Amino acid sequence: MGLLRDWHYVEKAVQIPALAELIREALIHALFVRDDRVLPRDLIADLNRVPPVTVKVKEDAEVRKLVRVLNGQESTVSLGLSAEDYHYFRTQLGVGRTREFGVTMRPRTLLTYDWIVPEQRGVQLDFTGYAGIEFAVDGHRAIAQVGALWKRLYDEASERGHLVPFVPTVPLDFAVGDALYGDAPFASFRGGFASYVNALRTISAYGQRARIGFEEVANYGTAYDLLHAAIPLAGEFFIPLSAALRLEAKPAARKTLTYGFDDPAKLSAGLDRLCRFGPGVNWVHITDAVAAKILRPATPPEASTVQVSLGATTTGIAAKEKALDVAMVGFKAKSSETPNPYDVSADAYRKTADTVARSLFVGEVRVPAKSFGEFLGKVRAFGDQSAAKAGAYANLQETGSVSTYPFFSAPKDRTKVYDLSKGVRAIVTRTPGAAFTSRLAHLWDEEPNFLRRMSLVRSLKLEIDEAHVVQPLISP
């Protein structure tokens, strides 16, 4: 999700004598909101910089060439730009001057907020037009270019008899690449997005095509599983171009069952039982009343709604539904007609996504199923106190953890984002077993083991991207 650069910047900033007086959190606040009362002017200028050149990618060869040019391995002549573009490119990048250039990938849809430190002088890659999807002829895998929309992947896979197991917990119009260099929250009941990635086709910092993992098979016994270690930060090690995704077969019978709860304790107990359910559950999507109203404006919402996507044999589905009813005992209402957010037309999906996107999101909180109801209540109360009505989208994982995305009806200015994130963090600290995994939460975390891991990850980045090309780290 792209955070090494911010983390490194903060680590370095705390060492600057002029800023050393500030406590870490105050510094992060100042950097995040670009506070000119606290920070020197040139630092603010750095933070407000935007990458001067955006390249719309159509072919991987262009990216290779670009990286090689930025690396000084090839001259700009080989970029094959029109005379006008060529001149623009050279002047904007200041080719020929002694400057470091970087390449950064622009997420199509960002759930939360922009990074603290933008790419300083390099090139931003826009993958909107790099969106092909190729399905295996006789197997359950797809190779999706990073610009391909998740919804298209989902629909086309379905037409071919596959099931895309992972769905966006917050139903925005994400591209596949948003999970690699953005913050798209793809997950299934059985695992996160990474569990479904067999390989990434990338361009390395040296401009070579490099495949991380294996497109057709899993990654076992081949030295380090670099693929899965890198995925949350993939865009900081390589330039990912396509992902080889592991799909499943579409079950013979599928059903979305919707359970309404009005009692948070019963909701938590139901989820706690549901996570022991075993195979058959594809995803479990949870919304509070505010989120449910956004997704289904025509339906009066329950305090909490749990939608379960169930798959089984045609003969087995009834028994599974019965077992599910038992697990969810305590529900107030049940329906098998309520549409789920994903199996709708692309237009309807996009329309809903536009509405969903208006809310302010602070990132992911992992909450034990048992405490979910209580956590929701606290977030709601916090929203009321902060004059920012709160809601949440969430999904339940088999591990017993609920991956929750609280949101607020508030203007998306950075100060508000910061304050609301801080409030959520305070609730998380009071919820046993919960973890806040947003980008800001990473920057705040000072647990020694976490800091060691981050510095190992940074060393690894510096080794792999020795050329300082892929989102190069920047010091204030």
Q: Which of residues 436-465 bind another protein (CB under 8 A)?
A: 437, 442, 445, 447, 449-450, 452-454, 456-457, 459-460, 463-464
**The two structure tokens encoding residue 435:** 């973890």
Q: Are 182 and 232 in contact (CB under 8 A)?
A: no
Smallest distance, another protein to C-beta of residue 27, A: 20
Quick check: 319 binds another protein (CB under 8 A)? yes
Position of tokens 């599910």? 324
Quick check: 204 binds another protein (CB under 8 A)? yes
- Residue 124 corresponds to which amino acid? Q
Q: Are 93 and 450 in contact (CB under 8 A)?
A: no
CB contact burial 260-295 (16+ within 10 A = b; e otherwise): bbeebebbbbbbbbbbebeebbbbbbbbbbbbbbbb
Quick one: which of 195, 299, 386, 409 contacts another protein (CB under 8 A)? Answer: 195
Q: Which of residues 107-146 bind another protein (CB under 8 A)?
A: 136, 138-141
**Region binding another protein by CB under 8 A among candidate stretches 91-99, 114-122, 204-212, 349-357:** 204-212
Residues in contact with another protein, counted by CB under 8 A, come to a total of 87
Tell me which residue of 263, 254, 246 sits closest to 340, measured CA to CA: 254
Q: Cα–Cα distance between 30 and 10 in angstroms, integer?
A: 11
Q: Which is nearer to another protein, 296 or 378 (CB)?
A: 378
Quick check: 403 binds another protein (CB under 8 A)? yes
Q: Which of residues 216-255 bind another protein (CB under 8 A)?
A: 216-229, 232, 237-238, 246-252
Quick check: 79 binds another protein (CB under 8 A)? no
Q: Which of residues 294-313 bind another protein (CB under 8 A)?
A: 311-313
Smallest distance, another protein to C-beta of residue 386, A: 25
Quick one: which of 149, 163, 234, 473 contacts another protein (CB under 8 A)? Answer: 163
- DSSP secondary structure, 149-169, as one string: BHHHHHHHHHHTTEE---EES
Q: Which is nearer to another protein, 105 or 460 (CB)?
A: 460
Pinpoint the alpha helices (H) of 284-436.
289-295, 317-327, 346-356, 372-385, 414-429
Q: Are 86 and 105 in contact (CB under 8 A)?
A: no
- Residue 238 corresponds to which amino acid? F
Position of tokens 């009941």? 189
Quick check: 364 binds another protein (CB under 8 A)? yes
**β-strand pairing of 304-312 with 253-261:** antiparallel
Pinpoint the alpha helices (H) of 328-413.
346-356, 372-385
Quick check: 98 binds another protein (CB under 8 A)? no
Smallest distance, another protein to C-beta of residue 169, A: 11
What size, in residues, is the chain? 476
Q: Which of residues 415-434 bind another protein (CB under 8 A)?
A: 433-434
Binding mask 31-60 for another protein (x = CB under 8 A): ------------------------------
Smallest distance, another protein to C-beta of residue 133, A: 16
